[in-house]
Structure 1
């Protein structure tokens, strides 16, 4: 099964491919040029992997993040899923900030005015479990929550499309609903 992951809700264009023979990812900070760069980025990723431009499964980062960015990624993913007859799965964009290291992690994205969008996850070899759903917090409150839970704070981290794919294995939603709290 070939899986494509994409997220356009942050200033990064986050892409990844996973297939039986390997995996490949890219995350490039492009600010607000997602609409212009997404199609060519996906094509380049498949070309670099030596694969035909077609996936069996698409994982989309559903936000929180840029309202326009989330819509761009969701529209593109929905179109590809229909054209390719691919399964579409959604996970929180916060999952793109998780590392592969086992343990409790607290990913957060800037929500402006000393606020963050954050959540708590437990990362294990068997998958990712959501301990606390994504929500908006005062920055200081989220840092305190992470410390209280013994969680590794994951802010200012480059997103990973492969992290989205790993999280989708246990947290994926077959009928993705976008988070409607955006920057």
Structure 2
């Protein structure tokens, strides 16, 4: 099976996220899925525990809901990893996401206001970072892309800073 992101038009190669991002996405999603599954499965099981019925039914329902939530969370994390690509070109940073509903975001260098690099505990464990690009404007005023290795995130941050701003010219001229 070919990677459907590679058949999008364009000649500059698109970069995949590092393999560590797959593990990070899966662990983060598994934790969120487990929390949601426990809440989603445990609450109905407790409610039904007060009704007449066999106890194994309550346990089975709770475990089934937990398993379903975990499976959906892991599936979503796998798709998020597999169908995310990025590239830095002369125009700026481009990020493509999605298998079924595809999107491409272009962040022009001239629209970059400031950049942040965030590292949560799971990202730090895998040597990853989230690049947050704050832009001028109201729609998509911040683009967040998790899953970069720390070196790439730092290099992208440095590369996306506009080399010369209009207000810098006015201040010096």
TM-score (norm 1): 0.24
1 or 2, which has the higher strand percentage?
A: 1
Report 1 or 2 for greater relative contact order, CA contacts < 8 Å, sequence distance ≥ 6.
1
1 or 2, which has the higher helix percentage?
A: 2
Structure of larger gyration radius = 2
TM-score (norm 2): 0.25
